[in-house]
Structure 1
Amino acid sequence: MSKSVSIIISAYNAVSFLERAVKSAVSQNYVKEIFIVEDGSLDNTYEFALELERKYDLIKVLTHVDRKNKGLAATRNRGLEFATGDWIQVLDADDELMPGKIESQLSLVRKDSAFIVANSLDVYADGRVTKRSFYDDGWRGLIVGKLGISSANLFNRLAIKELGGFDEKLRTSEEYDLMFRLMTCGHMPVFDPNYLTKIHITEGSLSRGKQYEEMFSRNWINLRKRIRAYLIEKGIFSNYLKYQYSGALGTFFQSYDLPIDNTVNKFYLNLYKIEKRIKKSIYTLFFNQYQ
């Protein structure tokens, strides 16, 4: 089975960390090509990317035709236009692939695999590292947002090209929208339990302003409602998934001070919150006991 990989690095105002992402990419096995796609940066990212192109043989720098900022989905799609590898590794410029990441995931590929979901590590500026773990139930993970993250996952190029790539109308939730569309075509994820991607959490990634928050919440909610509608249509919206949906969407509404709509079962929501409190209490008790 062919296993070449194209890496697409999206770069916007990324001068201070782009080379870290590039070094983590060039060290991977099975990499056929690496595209740095510059997204209308306000700093010298484009010029620095050209320096990296001269420094590393695998790198090709791309931009949008008009050099405007078009967002993450359009930037990844720009790389997809030129990619020829069997698999696509998207990588945000502030993230980092750990040694063996791609090889580990390719070892799990089956003939009909369309995408691989993996765990990752959140790395904070103060040195803290926390684990971001997936749920190994595809629909549950998709609903609650525990189905990996773009840089941790791996996608079959032909499978996502057939769907038209990432939805450029979205500026957030584009990777979960893509996974949802793959799953509606019968492509369920393969799971890699390793933690081989570092997501560097910076001040900019934590706070992007009120307009971004409104767009994020709108896209997050709309996607879950689309998932719910699809599961109902297919007759597979089980009580278990209704519980997960009500718990995830209801707590999301509450965290953003939004009114809870009638798609949320409030009994399930309250039960979900009790479950979370119990799990947190057990974890705290266990953690404190072994300090």
Structure 2
Amino acid sequence: MLDVSVIIPVYNAAEFLEKSVHSALQFEEVKEVILVEDQSTDNSLEVCQNLVSKNKKVILFQHPDKKNHGAGASRNLGIAKSTGSFITFLDADDYYLPNRFQAEKEIFNNPKIEGVFGAIGIEYLTEKGKQEYQSKFSDTLLTTVNYPAEGKEVFKGLLGLTPKTFGTFFHLNALTIRKSSIDQYNLQFNELLRVHQDSDFIIKLAYHCYLKSGIIDQAVAIRGIHDDNRITKIIKYSPQYNQRQLLFWNSLYDWSTKNNIPSEYKEKIYLRYKSFDLSQKTGVSKYYNIFIEAIKNPNILKTQYRFNYQK
């Protein structure tokens, strides 16, 4: 049987946390639920302490200095403190569905498989959150991929290098990974990224580890959409959006260089990074439309504008 450590970073989630934790405790596969409280300004810490007092599987940690360090650092602390053979993640305002580990029970019988991912759905918790989400993502009911995949096909798909469109990033809520694989490849969340650290982690994970799709046509977890979702606040291709994307792709480019990954992958990452880098440097100028095009399709830099990738 699987023995799973569920890691939940907690920041100002008092309203949702109890449902989130109980959704994980319903499974016999769950060995422990690790809460990492990140200097919330609401009563999240009190809620955490109450949950710990009621169930011995719930364990609470804070950062040594008791200060706010962000979701990436909180997940890293949770990984370091975990004792399960498998690691899963859950956002404090989200929850698991009863089929969360259905695919994993069978797939992990194959020792070659290091990680399994599935689909998540959405639940609108506020009208304002619904409007913001739909204005940015239309009415996408599932965050998932377009077809079953495993191994390097997953990594290539996330970079847009597969013949068929692989789809969006799968969500951390639907990922289960062997703890031994995280340790073997020394995989951590980039603590300098306050957003997109999850996508950064997933791409690196997909390169180093053998991942396989599980249930991708129905949700295994639910993401709560409300007024305070950070990802819905940023207007696409705005200066703030471009800056955050630049930091994300720069992180991946630094990683690709240090790990000496094959040039076809490194080039794709570099061109994405350079697109956002140039858009930041030019800002609103006569070149602005050029770089918006380049952000959408980095190959434009190589074709129309004769920009050469430096290996």
Which TM-score tier does this pair reach, normalised by the shorter chain?
0.7 to 0.9
Listed one character per residue, the Cα deviations across residues 102-128 of structure 1 (whole Å, up to 9, x for unaligned) are 243232122022221211112223587
Are residues 40 and 112 of structure 1, via their aligned partners in 2, closer, same or farther at CA, if it must alter by over 3 Å? same
Amino acid at match of 1:153: L
**Does residue 177 in structure 1 map to residue 205 in structure 2?**
no
Listed one character per residue, the Cα deviations across residues 155-199 of structure 1 (whole Å, up to 9, x for unaligned) are 2112113314222222222233223333443x2311012421111
**Does residue 146 in structure 1 map to residue 168 in structure 2?**
yes
- Matched residue of 1:65: which SS? coil
Structure 2 counterpart of 1:114: 114
- Matched residue of 2:90: which SS? strand
Are residues 9 and 211 of structure 1, via their aligned partners in 2, closer, same or farther at CA, if it must alter by over 3 Å? farther
Name structure 1 gaps, 5 residues minimum. 271-291
Structure 1 counterpart of 2:262: 234
TM-score (norm. length: structure 1): 0.75
Contact 2:246 2:273 in 1 (8 A): no
**Does residue 130 in structure 1 map to residue 141 in structure 2?**
yes
Structure 2 counterpart of 1:167: 190
Are residues 247 and 87 of structure 1, via their aligned partners in 2, closer, same or farther at CA, if it must alter by over 3 Å? same
Q: Which moved more, 1:20-29 or 1:155-164?
A: 155-164
Structure 2 counterpart of 1:265: 299
Offset, 1:34: 0.8
Contact 2:52 2:58 in 1 (8 A): yes
Contact 1:250 1:269 in 2 (8 A): no
In 1, Cα distance between equivalents of 2:251 and 2:5: 28
Contact 1:87 1:154 in 2 (8 A): yes
Listed one character per residue, the Cα deviations across residues 50-99 of structure 1 (whole Å, up to 9, x for unaligned) are 01111223111111111111001110111112211011111110111001
1:198 maps to which of 203, 222, 226? 222
In 2, Cα distance between equivalents of 1:266 and 1:111: 42
Listed one character per residue, the Cα deviations across residues 18-72 of structure 1 (whole Å, up to 9, x for unaligned) are 0110111111231111111101101110011101111223111111111111001
Name structure 2 gaps, 5 residues minimum. 131-138, 161-166, 305-311
Are residues 26 and 133 of structure 1, via their aligned partners in 2, closer, same or farther at CA, if it must alter by over 3 Å? same
Are residues 69 and 231 of structure 1, via their aligned partners in 2, closer, same or farther at CA, if it must alter by over 3 Å? closer
In 2, Cα distance between equivalents of 1:227 and 1:81: 21
- Matched residue of 2:7: which SS? strand
- Matched residue of 2:107: which SS? coil
Offset, 1:225: 4.8
Structure 1 counterpart of 2:233: 207
- Matched residue of 1:107: which SS? helix
Structure 1 counterpart of 2:18: 19
TM-score (norm. length: structure 2): 0.71
RMSD over aligned Cα, in angstroms?
3.8
What fraction of aligned residue pairs are identical, expressed as a percent? 23
Are residues 40 and 237 of structure 1, via their aligned partners in 2, closer, same or farther at CA, if it must alter by over 3 Å? closer
In 2, Cα distance between equivalents of 1:52 and 1:212: 37
Contact 1:172 1:215 in 2 (8 A): no
In 2, Cα distance between equivalents of 1:211 and 1:57: 46
Listed one character per residue, the Cα deviations across residues 123-150 of structure 1 (whole Å, up to 9, x for unaligned) are 2235877111224341343225723111
Structure 2 counterpart of 1:219: 247
In 1, Cα distance between equivalents of 2:303 and 2:25: 45
In 1, Cα distance between equivalents of 2:202 and 2:37: 24
Amino acid at match of 1:134: V
Offset, 1:223: 5.0
The 5 A counterparts of 1:43-62 are 43-62=42-61
Amino acid at match of 2:107: L
- Across the two proteins, how many residue pairs are aligned to each other? 264
In 2, Cα distance between equivalents of 1:30 and 1:78: 21
Amino acid at match of 1:197: A
Amino acid at match of 1:123: E
Are residues 25 and 214 of structure 1, via their aligned partners in 2, closer, same or farther at CA, if it must alter by over 3 Å? same
Structure 1 counterpart of 2:39: 40
